[in-house]
Structure 1
Amino acid sequence: MGQETTEPQAHPNGDERLTFLDVRHVSDISNLDADVVVMGIPCATPYLHIPEYGRANLSGPRAIRRATSMFAQSHDRIDWDVADTMFSGSRDRVVDIGDLDVSFEKAAENRALIKSTTEAIVRQGAVPVVLGGEDSIPIPVVQGLAGLEDVTILQVDGHMDWRDEVNGERFGLSSGMRRASELPFVKSIVQVGMRGPSSGGPKEVADARAWGVKFFTGEEIHDHGVDPVIDSIREGANVHINFDLDSLDPSIMPAVWVPTPGGLSYWQASKLIRGVARKAKIVSFAMVEFVEDRDITGTAAITASRLATTAIGEILRSRKG
């Protein structure tokens, strides 16, 4: 007799009525009927020596969802950002499984749950869209893409995240791209938006360049736009977009832990997502580092939610051919 296995279960976010753009909430992911699966992840491997950073991000998924409520009844209207309805008439193909049941003090268990949930979603042919949450979350998300064999990572971030360890922790927020580079199925890494004091030194930059990373700094985006980034991605590639909100200029995204002048504009970020989706295949999308307490007016959450909406809509449009 074969051994029984249990699919990972999503943990409701406490209020099943609060979903991204009021899409269907599901709690059992063992038999998905969807093209896109939204899931909130408040944390994965927070740095325990700076707990205030990780705790500042815990409400991020809920804040981004809440910001979509004003547009929830507009899904059938034209969205001028994409010249189509928000979800291209495919809103029923999007579900929200709530927030995963992660704990600030249980990093290894968090990573295992995030990885297995991502694997379950991808195995059923759907695309995970992650709302976060602190910036170590993408490590297990990317690990969960192993079944795709050939993955390109597009990291949109103010920092490079190539440190091998920080205070002995190898899976924290500063090590995401270093850990990704060690995965055999990650074939290409493109990093966009770096500026200001780096999260790495000369060794990390040299290691990244030696691996083959293509860097596009914030200043280069300002000078040349996002077309060179899109051109650097292989036609038809499987792309994981890792979207750290501190990639955006703090004039439109103050709700991050390390706001730095010179970031991407809303239109640059939107054009980048749309351009990649129309050239390649977005297989997962993770938006991280939203700090609700720093969003005094609530407009930063709206900006984040609009970019996530754009990503979901482009995924659905590409699936419709």
Structure 2
Amino acid sequence: MDALSRDLELVVPLWRGGGDERVVAGADALAALVPQRAPRVEVPDPHGSAAQRPPVTTRGLGVLDAEAVVAHARAVTAALRESRASRVVALGGDCAMGTPVAGALLDQHPDLHVIWVDAHGDLNTPGTSPSGLAYGMPLRALLGDGHPGLVPDRPLRGDHTMLLGVRELDPAERDFLAAGDVAVVPPAGADALVAAVLDRIPAGAPVHVHLDLDVLDPEVFPAVAVPTPGGLDVPTLAAVATTLRAHADVVGFTVTEYVPEVPHDPAPLVEVLHAFGA
């Protein structure tokens, strides 16, 4: 299958959402792995590295280092709006970058569906988060509930949202999912995951895929910020990607949480990137 069509490629070394600066190198490594097929823009951290400006350990409106996370997210939004791109590949960085990317795509595609492929729910709010780290809140912010500097102008609809591969949820996230209409698809075989995607996503619908690489089982791919057992293997994730691209219009693709300094074989990552058309 051909590569995804895109108007813009972003490299977003946002790391203060999780406080783990190792993912900065992950953004650079992804940029080296993904062939450039459109104008490419890097959106650097406005506050610089940890050596230049250490993360703030107090909670601003419930979010650690909130000022810096919001500043970087707003820089991402500004880059996307300036470009007027309607089809985007974004390489990060931690999961906090997912909200501004998807939020900007919602401006271009009001009927956007989002598939959040992640071992974790990313559904905490500043009031429910055990850690206060923004990278545990981006999907909830995208749905309209979060730090005011991170919630998009046009929130995502719950019935247009699928959380795929999730296997670790906090109690408040479970309560939110039980009361709402976000589709939750835990790890399963390829046939079950493909069927869930086909059932939830209308044919031809605009779709944005947010991929946290920790959805893969750490025995398959350990080079992530938060390795979580019980994940997917590469053929299963590739089958989902291939089916989705044939069934819907994938207008956005974000990859996050790569930590290249962890010893690993990059071949599984390359295969996943290829399957999604990056």
- The equivalences for 1:75-94 within 5 A come to 94=37
Alignment partner, residue 130 of structure 1:
90
| 1:173 and 2:141 matched | no
Q: Which runs of 5+ in 1 are unaligned?
A: 1-33, 73-90, 314-321
Residue 43 of structure 1 is matched in structure 2 by 14
Pick closer, same or farther for the CA change 1:223–1:128 going to 2, 3 Å. Answer: closer
Q: What TM-score, normalized to structure 1?
A: 0.68
Structure 2 CA distance, aligned partners of 1:236 and 1:213? 20
Deviations 1:252-293 (A, max 9, x none): 210012212221111111111121122111121100000111
> How many equivalent residue pairs?
242
The 1:217–1:167 alpha-carbon spacing in structure 2 relative to 1, beyond 3 Å, is closer
Q: Which residue pairs with 2:103 in the alignment?
A: 143
Task: Tell me: CA distance 1:265–1:120, structure 2 relative to 1, closer, same or farther (3 Å).
Answer: farther
Describe how 1:1-321 pairs up with structure 2 within 5 A. 35-43=6-14, 45-47=16-18, 51=19, 54-67=20-33, 94-102=37-45, 103=48, 106-121=68-83, 123-125=84-86, 127-145=87-105, 146-165=107-126, 166=129, 169=132, 172-182=134-144, 184-187=154-157, 188-195=160-167, 197-198=168-169, 200-201=170-171, 203-218=172-187, 220-221=188-189, 224-294=192-262, 296-297=263-264, 299-300=265-266, 302-312=267-277
Percent of pairs with identical residues: 21
Give the CA deviation at 1:119.
2.8
Partner of 1:76: none
| Aligned match of 1:316 | none
Deviation at 1:37? 2.5
SS in 2 for 1:292: coil
Asked whether the 8 Å contact 2:190–2:237 carries over to 1, the reply is no
Distance 1:164 1:229, change over 3 A: same
Q: Secondary structure at the match of 2:70?
A: helix
Partner of 2:115, secondary structure, is strand
Give the 3-state SS of the residue equivalent to 1:255 in structure 2. Answer: coil
Letter in 1 for 2:174: V
| Cα-to-partner distance string for 1:9-68 (whole Å, 9 max, x where unaligned) | xxxxxxxxxxxxxxxxxxxxxxxxx83422211116424xxx3xx212110122223346
Name the aligned partner's letter for residue 184 of structure 2.
F
Instruction: Tell me: CA distance 1:35–1:58, structure 2 relative to 1, closer, same or farther (3 Å).
Output: closer
**Structure 2 regions of 5+ residues with no counterpart?**
54-67, 145-151
TM-score by length of 2: 0.77
Conserved in 1, the CA contact under 8 Å of 2:11 and 2:31? no
Q: Give RMSD over aligned pairs.
A: 2.5
Rounded to whole Å, the distance in 1 between the matches of 2:130 and 2:230 is: 29
Q: Structure 1 residue 96: deviation in Å?
A: 4.8
Q: Residues 129 and 284 of structure 1 are in contact (CA less than 8 Å); yes or no, is this contact kept in structure 2?
A: yes
Q: How far apart in 1 are the matches of 2:249 and 2:190?
A: 26
> For residues 259 and 287 of structure 1, do their structure 2 counterparts lie closer, same or farther at Cα, with a shift above 3 Å needed?
same
C-alpha distance in 2, partners of 1:142/1:124? 12
CA distance in 2, matches of 1:38, 1:172: 23
Q: What's the CA shift for 1:160?
A: 0.7
Residue type at the aligned position of 1:110? H
AA at the equivalent of 1:41 = V
* Cα displacement string for residues 102-141 of structure 1 (whole angstroms, at most 9, x for unaligned residues): 23553222111111222344x344x211111111110111
> Could you list the per-position Cα deviations for residues 173-219 of structure 1 after superposition, in whole angstroms to 9, with x for gaps in the alignment?
11111111116452311011112x42x21x3222123230111111x
Structure with the greater alpha carbon radius of gyration: 1
